[in-house]
Structure 1
């Protein structure tokens, strides 16, 4: 039978509960503030100062303006394509590379690993990278410039390689006795036993693609290829809400523009927030692989 613990332990537990609750509130409140602000009346929001605990008069004109903006729709389509296709390519190529680096019979795996780890600490810089991708590879103003140059993350590759190494060699040996080659072992043994780490890779690469904007700013010149984050950046930093206001609602232009900024943040954030709960149970397990040796 488990006891209640000493007085010090009970005080420590209550202190932890209070502290973690406080951290949760200050972490969650900015999200709640943005949501309430996006649903508030524009003029009331502009006149309001201080904290916000409820919408200031329910108003969805800002969301109508965001949805009716063709740039948002186009940006969503581009971002979804980059996230889906890019994440698939990232995970697939990373898995293949990690599998190759675990092959004991492959003579160059250690040499390749040294070169791969070297890229974590040393890079060519932004200008050589721009010249290489834009001129040498000819990917300037191409959506592939947002996916192919960063196809493999060295950190993710090392995590996946560590996961593959934790799979017992006896499984591969028994498969080879039955006539399986490396391709069969990879697709029918390694990948099915690595669902947790694959889910973590999907989350890491997917969130990275969803939030990425710098490469698009460097390489993309056509507005119809702008991802969602570039559109969001224009709205928040350049304050370019005039076209959205014209197609949205009447009223004070400055006030409506403020509401549109918050509504755009919500629209661009909700999809990734909806995906995270489905893979969070794998996250801790995946990132801890290889952290503890015993």
Structure 2
């Protein structure tokens, strides 16, 4: 009995065999099959998503003969830049493009300031009237004043033909507000309590502790708001009467409507009107989406984590 116990103690004291570095356990057959099927499914989904975009790019650089005959698929046929030259040689295009940049930057800044502060306040369970303010925000998701009352309100406030008609009515997205509120609710209370003990005020905690540690969700919300303001055209089409105040989306919409209805666009002659009409839709889509596509890689690493952070519980 004693020898058996001694043997067990000796066995327990022996170092266990370790797997050498660089060597990983072999996956089972089921897990390997899952990985292969998952990779194949993702490749198919990526191909389905990329195909329409690549086709639009190919049509944007193709000549009207190949487009009208349906011969353009993934590679441009009869390389042509006529529509790009006509659009980009128009001074009004660049004026409206500048307007879009200004509307997007100002609108996103205002939206982020309002959404962040509102969500942080709602995340505090000791806030008096918290349920009421949450209800007011959620109510706007299901009910709104309608098109005519909104138009009358904007006109009465004197916002017509100004930047405020674009950036203020869409300043807060309730969906983004609830995502940020959920994130702030799961923020560690210990950090804020430690900062408060050190004598930091509420505003100091918010700007020096909470905001720097919320880069992922902030970057995601910036992307959401920037895309919404960049692609917005109906508000400007409704509230703007001066073409110099149009965003580029309204300019391209009018260009596409004018060409398809047979009107010769500014800077275009009768000889290239047919070419412009054949691929104006592809060119307008490409010019509209290209800046956002260029912006996305810089904040893509924050995107997934920023969306999921608000749903993770402690």
The TM-score with structure 2 as length reference comes to 0.84
CA distance in 2, matches of 1:113, 1:21: 41
Match of 1:239 in 2: 259
Structure 1 gaps, min length 5:
none
The alpha carbon displacement at 1:248 in A equals 4.6
The alpha carbon displacement at 1:220 in A equals 1.1
The alpha carbon displacement at 1:279 in A equals 1.3
Match of 1:186 in 2: 206
The alpha carbon displacement at 1:166 in A equals 1.7
CA distance in 1, matches of 2:114, 2:47: 39
Contact 1:36 1:53 in 2 (8 A): yes
Contact 1:66 1:264 in 2 (8 A): no
Match of 1:58 in 2: 79
Match of 2:179 in 1: 159
Match of 2:25 in 1: 2
CA RMSD of aligned residues (A): 2.2
Contact 1:43 1:256 in 2 (8 A): no
23, 48, 56: which one pairs with 1:34? 56
Structure with higher Rg: it is 2
1:193-208 equivalences in 2 (<5 Å): 193-208=213-228
Q: Which deviates the most, 57-66 or 215-224? A: 57-66
1:82 aligns with 2:103: yes
The alpha carbon displacement at 1:42 in A equals 3.3
Contact 1:99 1:164 in 2 (8 A): yes
Match of 2:92 in 1: 71
SS of 1:247's equivalent in the other structure is coil
Q: Which deviates the most, 81-90 or 94-103? A: 94-103
The alpha carbon displacement at 1:10 in A equals 4.2
Contact 2:259 2:273 in 1 (8 A): no
1:138-287 equivalences in 2 (<5 Å): 138-239=158-259, 242-244=263-265, 247-248=267-268, 251-287=271-307
Higher relative contact order (CA 8 A, sep 6+): 1
Structure 2 gaps, min length 5:
1-23
1:20 aligns with 2:42: yes
CA distance in 1, matches of 2:146, 2:278: 37
After superposition, give the CA deviation of every residue in 1:59-80 in whole Å (9 maximum; x if it has no partner).
Answer: 2222111111223212211110
After superposition, give the CA deviation of every residue in 1:254-274 in whole Å (9 maximum; x if it has no partner).
Answer: 223323432232222110100
CA distance in 2, matches of 1:35, 1:249: 24
CA distance 1:12–1:175, change in 2 (3 Å): closer
CA distance 1:89–1:4, change in 2 (3 Å): same
The alpha carbon displacement at 1:190 in A equals 0.9
The alpha carbon displacement at 1:13 in A equals 3.7
Contact 1:66 1:260 in 2 (8 A): no
CA distance 1:293–1:225, change in 2 (3 Å): same
CA distance 1:30–1:75, change in 2 (3 Å): same
112, 119, 124: which one pairs with 1:91? 112
Contact 1:207 1:272 in 2 (8 A): yes
The alpha carbon displacement at 1:18 in A equals 3.1
Contact 2:99 2:245 in 1 (8 A): yes
